[in-house]
Chain A
Amino acid sequence: GAGVSQTPSNKVTEKGKYVELRCDPISGHTALYWYRQSLGQGPEFLIYFQGTGAADDSGLPNDRFFAVRPEGSVSTLKIQRTERGDSAVYLCASSQYPPGELFFGEGSRLTVL
């Protein structure tokens, strides 16, 4: 497809489990962003990749969160030992010329029971 693709669209897990969320950006976009959004809030910045490297990971809340983009395209956000407070919609976006227009995927809704 032509847009940003995120999988899974919905994920329900139990507290303490490990979760991976995948993002496939628009082809040719070098910049990739992860955000998370809770109900009634704006998207909260997590991490930004330029190519394969994390240019800014200052938004990752703690060391349970980690993201990779090994070949400069697909990215995976990894969450260890999930907590109920991690429940949110995780949004991925890509951009061709940062900080220009972001193109968002439909998000992965994570629910931690």
Chain B
Amino acid sequence: RKEVEQDPGPFNVPEGATVAFNCTYSNSASQSFFWYRQDCRKEPKLLMSVYSSGNEDGRFTAQLNRASQYISLLIRDSKLSDSATYLCVVPYTGANSKLTFGKGITLSVRP
């Protein structure tokens, strides 16, 4: 299994839809996880952190399933402004603290 794998995309949904992305990881020792958002031709920015079973922020919910080694991001009531690429990020413990990014999932929300 690759270090981080994300659902293939792109996703094209109407405004108001609920959409979910999944991301699997290979290192069972990883303790914290992140979702980043990247707009077209811009740098990635942190969207949410996931340290335990889950985290909710408004329309966004991130969940962690340690047994199956995957994290998910749920977006409810999609807005046009949610159109972007969503990257899951998995760090590795110990002295090797590199953070590995998934390939990214592109979401397009249409009117």
In the bound complex, residues from chain B placing their C-beta under 8 Å from that of A91 are 43-44
Q: How many chain B residues have a CB neighbour from A under 8 Å?
A: 24
The 5 closest A-B pairs by CB, nearest first: A99-B91, A104-B43, A42-B101, A43-B101, A42-B104
Query: Nearest chain A CB to B24's CB is how many angstroms away?
Result: 14
Using CB atoms and an 8 Å cutoff, list the residues of chain A in contact with chain B: 31, 33, 35, 40-45, 48, 50, 55-56, 58-59, 91, 98-102, 104-107
A45 in contact with B99 given A99-B32, A99-B91 (CB within 8 Å): yes
Q: Pick the contact of A102: B46, B92, B103 (CB < 8 A).
A: B46
In the bound complex, residues from chain B placing their C-beta under 8 Å from that of A102 are 36, 44, 46, 89, 99
Query: Nearest chain A CB to B30's CB is how many angstroms away?
Result: 9
Query: Is B1 part of the binding interface, using a Cβ–Cβ cutoff of 8 Å?
Result: no
A33 in contact with B99 given A101-B49, A104-B45 (CB within 8 Å): yes
